[in-house]
Structure 1
Amino acid sequence: MTLDEAQKRVDAWIKEYGVRYFSELTNMAVLTEEVGELARVMARKYGDQSFKEGEKENLDDEMADVLWVLLCLANQTGVNLTEAFARNLEKKTRRDRTRHINNQKLKKEHGKD
């Protein structure tokens, strides 16, 4: 599925099942909440925290929740994510063409000096 298709599918779902989009500000708050839930799972899976009893290692679902709300916001604000992402990738390529390749910190093994 492309980003464009995902935006269209979210829009169709909202129109069929969701009644209407939440306001942009509400969706921004929901996006923040979903990113927090993703951060919680990351901290437990890859960080120093452990999962609480009954918590799930649902990294994929939390990432999908973040994407869902981002797609909603894009639809609401008229952003074509396919075009925006392509422009963003071009910008990063121009700006960082040699930055990361020449970064000695990235050449070190993760977690070791």
Structure 2
Amino acid sequence: MEKRKTVQELQTEVDEYISQFKEGYFSPLAMLARMTEELGELAREVNHYHGEKPKKDSEDENTVAEELGDMLFVLICFANSLGIDLEKTHDSVMHKFTTRDKDRWTRIEDEGGSINEDN
């Protein structure tokens, strides 16, 4: 079984890959454009597999997983280029969701008929 990588290991792996090339990371604006392009490709795949627009026979057989992988790579490149530690950022976001937004959504255990006191 292959060892799973931490987010920090992913960021290091991408940085080692990009560091091989003189060009290095793209500028933040170019990175954002690239991420937008990848998001469009992801949207297209989701629409093909889960929406109303089937693929044409002439179109490549990409998958949602492949497009998510491309998005992840560009996101890591973006974070690395700006010196952002995605593990710390993730922890900060999760703290926000578990504190500020803790009562925003209906918990599965609350569906049994119990009423939130905020309602």
**Which structure would you say has the larger Rg?**
2
Residue 110 of structure 1: aligned partner = none
Shift of 1:57: 4.1
Q: C-alpha separation between the residues in 1 aligned to 2:41 and 2:20?
A: 27
Number of equivalent positions:
103
Give TM-score, length-normalised by structure 2: 0.79
Shift of 1:95: 2.3
8 Å CA contact retained: 1:45, 1:57 = no
Structure 1 portions without partners, runs of 5+: 108-113
Where does structure 1 differ by over 4 angstroms across 4 or more consecutive aligned residues? none
Residue 86 of structure 1: aligned partner = 91
Q: C-alpha separation between the residues in 2 aligned to 1:58 and 1:18?
A: 31
Q: C-alpha separation between the residues in 2 aligned to 1:61 and 1:101?
A: 32
State the Cα deviation string for residues 31-80 of structure 1 (Å, max 9, x = none): 00001100000011111111121331411110000000100010011110
Q: C-alpha separation between the residues in 2 aligned to 1:23 and 1:39?
A: 24
Counting aligned pairs with the same residue, the percent is 36
Give the number of the structure whose residues are more often helix, by fraction.
Answer: 1
Give TM-score, length-normalised by structure 1: 0.83
